[in-house]
Amino acid sequence: MQEHILKVSPKDSGKRLDSYLSDFSKEKKLGLSRESLKKLILQGGVLLNNGLIKPHYKLKSDDEIRINIEDKKTETPEAEDISLDVVYEDRDLAVINKPSGLVVHPAPGNYEHTLVNALLHRFKDLSSVNPKRPGIVHRLDKETSGLLVIAKNNFAHLALAEQFAKHTIKRKYIALVKGKMEFDENVIEAPIGRHPLKRKSMSVGFGSKTKYAKTYYRTLKRTDEFSLLELEPFTGRTHQLRVHLAFLGHPILGDNKYGRKDEFSRLALHAQKIAFLHPATGKLLEFSSELPGEFREFLNKT
């Protein structure tokens, strides 16, 4: 159990309680979101002058706030000695170059041998915002390779998640797609939702349950059989790049869900570049990785 006792200063008088505690959490790097603080208040974990209070309460000078935070006791996956390509590491985060074929986090059908199992073995500290997925701020599909940011503490996790939510994290992918692209560059704006018949797949649609999705592409090379593209997603919908390109009639090679598996040895999608602001220092960090060997061999043959 963590306990924090705060005294409201005159300059904070008039602030909402949940807003005040959110600022305090960020300052002390407690890793508590505003929503989780609101829940804590409603559950009686926050006392004002030793009494229960509502999240929207307007603070007064000299109010005493007592916060009690229960230690999380949720089971986490087991550590496994799985080799990792660590591109960068500091006290707050790490950047991993994920290989194709590695599932990011445990889920039905894949409770072992995931990136999370490898992270638990490799790193002493990982964020626990989602205890079942320690360190995981964003994900890549199993067959997608490339750069992934890992949070080592909850402060870093929430700060990175906020950047993802605001679409300020820049990501660029390289993909091999079927057929000859017509344009040198273009923007795909087509909403994505759950496929009406194939419930494990996504599709472009225009119903009430779809979400806005936007992807920029640039053609790096084209032949009659395939094109090499640089892709930049402006939104982060499930399978966005795969769905958008299949919608154009140029599915990613090796995509057994939205194209044909036998056209490439794996899904021909690689997260090559990522850029974001460091949660603690505010410094811009930029990383890039080499094209996987399968890509280079394919391109050398054409």
pLDDT tens per residue across span 212-221:
999 999 999 9
DSSP strands (E only) in 144-224: 145-151, 170-178, 185-189, 192-194, 202-204, 214-222
Report the distance separating Cα 76 and Cα 132, nearest Å: 5
Residue 300 and residue 292 in contact, taking contact as beta carbons nearer than 8 Å: no
**Higher pLDDT residue, 33 or 300?**
300
Report the distance separating Cα 126 and Cα 149, nearest Å: 12
Report the distance separating Cα 112 and Cα 274, nearest Å: 27
CATH superfamily of 73-166: Pseudouridine synthase (3.30.2350.10)
Q: How confident is the model at residue 108 (pLDDT cuts 50, 70, 90)?
A: low
**pTM attached to this predicted model:** 0.75
Active site residue 141: yes
The mean per-residue pLDDT over the stretch 37-57 comes to 86
Query: Which three-class secondary structure state does DSSP give residue 289?
Result: coil
Of the residues 141, 184, 224, 255, which is catalytic? 141
Q: How confident is the model at residue 72 (pLDDT cuts 50, 70, 90)?
A: low
Rg (CA), the chain: 23
CATH architecture of 167-302: 2-Layer Sandwich (3.30)
Give domain limits for the chain. 2-69, 73-166, 167-302
- pLDDT for residue 49 is more than 90: no
- pLDDT for residue 26 is more than 80: yes
Does 167-302 match 73-166 at the fold level? yes
Per-residue pLDDT reduced to its tens digit, 152-172: 999 999 999 999 999 999 999
How does strand 145-151 pair with strand 269-277?
A: parallel
- pLDDT for residue 33 is more than 80: no
For 21, counting Cβ atoms within 10 Å of its Cβ (0-12 exposed, 13-18 middle, 19+ buried), the class is buried
CATH code at 2-69 = 3.10.290.10
Which pLDDT score is estimated for 75?
55
